[in-house]
Amino acid sequence: MAAAAPATCYETGHLLHVVGRLAVWADRAGLPREPDVWLRTETIDAFVLSGCVGMYGSTLQTLRSRARRVREALVWVQRGETPSARLSSPRDPHPPYERGELARLRSWAGHLPGQARLDGLALMALGAGCGLMPGEVIRVRGSHIRLTRSKVAVLDEELLGRLVACHTSWGLVLAELVEAAGAGYLFRPGRKVEAAKNLVNSWPARHRPNAGLPPLSARRLRSTWIVGLLAAGISEAVVAQAAGMASPAALAAYHRWVPPLPEEEVIRLLHRHRR
């Protein structure tokens, strides 16, 4: 993994987590203890389909993507072969909320009655505060969140396959949600199944904000989080990794919403030197 990391956008520890799981699964399945066998496309696909019980959607895609990037780095590149083409269709990200809209939506959600208030705040805190995708929002439990020594809320790396720390502006909200949920789900804890179709989208359809405010959207909340970090000057590599993206190149579509830096800040950054 140390050899593969420089050829990918991932840290060694994140690759070790994925390939370690893959290797253990392959060994239990009776496959030879050879990296060439573990990293075959058919082995990776079989691992994702049958060796990742309890994982869904984007998490499975992340595991598969990282395993394939390791394969490219260690198998194909070392043999002088050209990596296979990655087929994908460009997707336009959802636009972020404006700052005033987000503040008003937060106030609206905070005044909803009973469980609706906690659900609305959970959707916002996990989206605008942590940048989670809809399929990830529904899987987060109170037990998946820990506080660092500096009181920063951090989400379980094993659950997401990456490191995510809650933005400071949503830390207190997330702490309240964890206290209320205990070990249960933060979003819609009364459900009988872990995942269901339209579990996230059906909530905004039932709870519409006041006239003039746009509806809550998990994808728009995630875009708001991404654009906010980019506007704050956070490294693109850090943002992409925290967002679960395969490469910082995936952030290109979000830059249309990132405001330009003031001239004084540009001068300061260009003049700054390393000590």
Strand order in the sheet with 153-155: 145-147, 153-155, 164-165
Q: Do residues 253 and 93 lie in contact, with contact meaning Cβ atoms separated by under 8 Å?
A: yes
> What's the whole-model pTM score?
0.66
What are the C-alpha distances in Å from 30 to residues 24, 100, 264? 10, 57, 62
What are the C-alpha distances in Å from 257 to residues 7, 184, 215? 30, 36, 19
Confidence at residue 247, expressed as pLDDT on a 0 to 100 scale:
87
What are the C-alpha distances in Å from 114 to residues 117, 141, 170, 180? 6, 19, 20, 12
Q: Do residues 92 and 253 lie in contact, with contact meaning Cβ atoms separated by under 8 Å?
A: yes
Residue 178 CB contacts under 8 Å (≥ 6 apart), including other chains: 142, 145, 153, 186
Confidence at residue 9, expressed as pLDDT on a 0 to 100 scale:
67
Confidence at residue 56, expressed as pLDDT on a 0 to 100 scale:
65
Beta strands in the chain (DSSP E): 145-147, 153-155, 164-165
Confidence at residue 115, expressed as pLDDT on a 0 to 100 scale:
94
**54-56-59-62 Cα dihedral, nearest 10 degrees:** 120
For 37, other C-beta atoms within 10 Å of its C-beta total 13
How far from chain centre, in Å, is Cα 173? 19
Full DSSP string of 149-210? TT--EEE-HHHHSS-EE--GGGHHHHHHHHHHHTTSBSSSTT-SSS--TTTTTHHHHHS--S
Residue matched to tokens 């906690």:
118
Confidence at residue 90, expressed as pLDDT on a 0 to 100 scale:
47
User: How many helices (H) and strands (E) are present in the chain, helices listed first?
Assistant: 13, 3
Confidence at residue 80, expressed as pLDDT on a 0 to 100 scale:
54
Question: What amino acid is encoded at 269 in this protein?
Answer: L
Confidence at residue 193, expressed as pLDDT on a 0 to 100 scale:
67
For 230, other C-beta atoms within 10 Å of its C-beta total 18
**In order along the chain (275 residues), what is the average pLDDT of each group of 10 residues?**
71 83 89 84 83 71 81 64 49 87 95 95 96 92 91 90 94 94 90 72 89 91 96 91 90 91 82 62
The 3-state DSSP class for residue 141 equals: strand
